[in-house]
């Protein structure tokens, strides 16, 4: 299981889109600036997210990106797997497992499988809609604190 900057930045971009759901397309430039994501990297992420059917693109002067499905229907797991590939343990899969030779006779393999199952569960239960609501609450409370301080 490998989570990289693709997942981190991709999820931030998707939350940004979910916060603006219903407002029309959002430009990649705006998202890049708000979320401090390098523009070229964000463009690459949107290619993968479009291919996975999670975002749609609109060309033109008022173009940009929008969620391809309702935010309630998109999970963190779908975003991560669109960007990183299937989430599974890398310790006991593939070449490393073949080289190890222990197969199912390994106590550590059970721990890795449980960890992967737990991560998949947490990511699968978290929707963009829920994260967008949390983000809005955090931003609203930060605004209230700034106003209280006078800034």
- Lowest-pLDDT choice from 1-10, 86-95, 136-145: 86-95
For 141, the domain range is 5-149
Task: Give me the pLDDT at residue 143, please.
Answer: 77
pLDDT value at position 150? 72
Contact between 54 and 14 (Cβ < 8 Å): yes
CATH number where 88 lies: 1.10.10.10
Collect all residues with Cβ–Cβ distance below 8 Å to 103 and sequence separation of at least 6: 97
- For residue 35, which of 14, 64, 53 has the smallest C-alpha distance? 14
- What predicted TM-score, i.e. pTM, was given to this entire model? 0.86
DSSP β-bridge partners for residue 136: none
Interval 59-79 mean pLDDT: 95
- Rounded percentage of the chain residues whose pLDDT exceeds 70: 89
Which of 28-32, 54-58, 103-107, 111-115 shows the lowest mean pLDDT across its residues?
103-107
Domain count, the chain: 1
Q: Six-digit token pair at 105?
A: 């006779």
Q: Coil, strand or helix: which one is 148?
A: helix
Q: Model confidence over 93-148: pLDDT tens digits?
A: 666 666 677 766 788 888 888 888 999 999 999 999 999 999 999 988 877 777 77
């Amino acid at each position: 299981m490998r989570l990289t900057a693709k997942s981190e930045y991709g999820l931030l971009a998707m939350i940004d889109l979910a916060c603006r759901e219903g407002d029309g397309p959002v430009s990649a430039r705006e998202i890049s600036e708000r979320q401090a994501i390098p523009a070229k990297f964000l463009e690459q992420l949107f290619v993968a997210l479009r291919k996975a059917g999670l975002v749609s693109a609109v060309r033109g002067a008022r173009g940009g990106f929008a969620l391809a499905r309702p935010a309630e229907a998109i999970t963190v797991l779908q975003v991560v797997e669109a960007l990183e590939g299937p989430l599974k343990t890398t310790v006991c899969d593939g070449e490393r497992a073949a080289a190890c030779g222990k197969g199912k006779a390994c106590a550590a393999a059970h721990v890795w499988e449980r960890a992967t199952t737990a991560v998949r569960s947490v990511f699968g239960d978290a929707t963009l809609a829920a994260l967008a609501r949390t983000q809005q609450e955090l931003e609203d409370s930060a605004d209230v604190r700034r106003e209280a301080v006078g800034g």
